[in-house]
């Protein structure tokens, strides 16, 4: 039986093929050989090693089925080619809610581990593919190879809080990494993180978050004005805001104003009534 870390210390070629840059993040080159009985110390290490190898080769992976013993402990775990299998067949009376391109194929590339006492040991490895590999200049699109590091998340969160648009933040990070292929994620990943970040910001209540945001804007712009009303249960029922630009426009074009109340949201049944003016000069 072989240990991945033991092999790493025996010769320089193994050191080049297997390395650990961060805790639980293994990097394996496409020349690394997953032999039967080779061992890893955890699920994260075994998955990351195979995933890193797959991305280097030009394909993605996903987690497959697992086998548990009577105690509920996992004893077998399978990692598969990400497009393995076939899509679910719909009956003639069913219709897909969203049309997508068909990517699934019958490729049987996979790796299986048996787990005992926390040690993950390779017991099956199939590296035969029935599809072409992704080209080097497109590998950064592989889903399993993309991730936002904690440092990237901190930068995204800080710059978004400062009012910088997600697209501009992504462009900045891509320039810092010397190319979109080196940044480690695509723009959609950043947008997904920002949406989750914003949801976390309002987890304590969207009304209080709105008021806090207005207070922040007022601290940066003395001409920003806001006001709100609450009901007998101290719930926000009406609010109004106006920034300095709106005030300036009103001074110039305030002779004709429209107070439009035709918009009504479905969730809270609260009227959205913008003041609309026209540049008549």
Beta carbons of 244 and 223 less than 8 angstroms apart: yes
Residue 40, pLDDT > 90, answer yes
pLDDT of residue 24: 37
User: Could you read off the pLDDT of 204-229 as tens digits, one per residue?
Assistant: 677 777 888 888 888 888 889 999 88
Tell me the per-residue pLDDT of 153-197, one tens digit each, with 9 for 90 and over.
999 888 887 888 899 999 999 999 998 888 999 999 999 998 887
Highest mean pLDDT among 16-25, 30-39, 89-98, 215-224: 215-224
Res 10: pLDDT: 42
Look at residue 60 and tell me whether its pLDDT is greater than 80: yes
Q: What are the backbone dihedrals phi and psi of residue 225, each rounded to the nearest 5 degrees, phi first?
A: -130, 140
User: Residue 12 has what pLDDT?
Assistant: 35
Return the top range by mean pLDDT from 5-9, 24-28, 54-58.
54-58
- pLDDT reported for residue 15: 35
More confident call, 17 vs 102: 102
> How far, in Å, CA of 34 to CA of 23, rounded?
21
pLDDT of residue 21: 39
Mean pLDDT, the chain, whole residue set: 79
Give the per-residue pLDDT at 204.
60
| 3 vs 132, higher pLDDT | 132
If phi > 0 it is left, if psi is from -120 to 50 it is alpha, else beta; for residue 87 that is beta
% of the chain with per-residue pLDDT over 90: 27
95-143 confidence digits (pLDDT tens): 655 655 556 677 888 999 999 999 999 999 999 888 888 888 898 899 8
Q: Report pLDDT for 118.
A: 92
Phi, psi of 232 (to 5 degrees): -65, -20
pLDDT of amino acid 14: 36
């Amino acid at each position: 039986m072989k240990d991945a870390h033991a092999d790493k210390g025996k010769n320089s070629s193994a050191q080049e093929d297997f390395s650990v840059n961060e805790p639980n993040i293994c990097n394996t080159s496409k020349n690394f050989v997953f032999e039967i009985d080779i061992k890893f110390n955890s699920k994260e290490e075994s998955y990351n090693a195979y995933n890193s190898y797959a991305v280097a080769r030009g394909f993605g992976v996903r987690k497959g089925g697992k086998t548990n013993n009577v105690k509920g402990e996992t004893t077998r775990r399978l990692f598969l080619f990400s497009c393995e299998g076939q899509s679910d067949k719909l009956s003639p009376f069913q219709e897909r809610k969203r049309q997508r391109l068909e990517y699934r194929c019958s490729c049987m590339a996979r790796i299986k581990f048996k787990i005992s006492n926390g040690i993950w040991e390779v017991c099956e490895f199939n590296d035969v593919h029935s599809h072409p590999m992704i080209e080097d200049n497109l590998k950064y699109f592989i889903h399993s190879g993309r991730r936002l590091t904690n440092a990237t998340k901190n930068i995204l969160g800080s710059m978004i809080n400062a009012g910088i648009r997600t697209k501009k933040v992504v462009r900045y990070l891509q320039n810092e990494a010397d190319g979109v292929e080196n940044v480690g994620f695509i723009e959609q990943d950043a947008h997904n993180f920002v949406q989750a970040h914003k949801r976390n910001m309002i987890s304590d209540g969207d009304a209080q978050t709105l008021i806090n945001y207005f207070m922040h804007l007022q601290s940066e712009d003395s001409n920003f004005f806001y006001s709100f009303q609450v009901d007998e249960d101290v719930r926000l029922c009406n609010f109004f805001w106006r920034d300095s630009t709106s005030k300036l426009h009103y001074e110039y074009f305030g002779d004709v104003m429209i107070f439009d109340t035709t918009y009504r949201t479905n969730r809270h049944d609260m009227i959205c009534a913008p003041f609309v003016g026209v540049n008549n000069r």
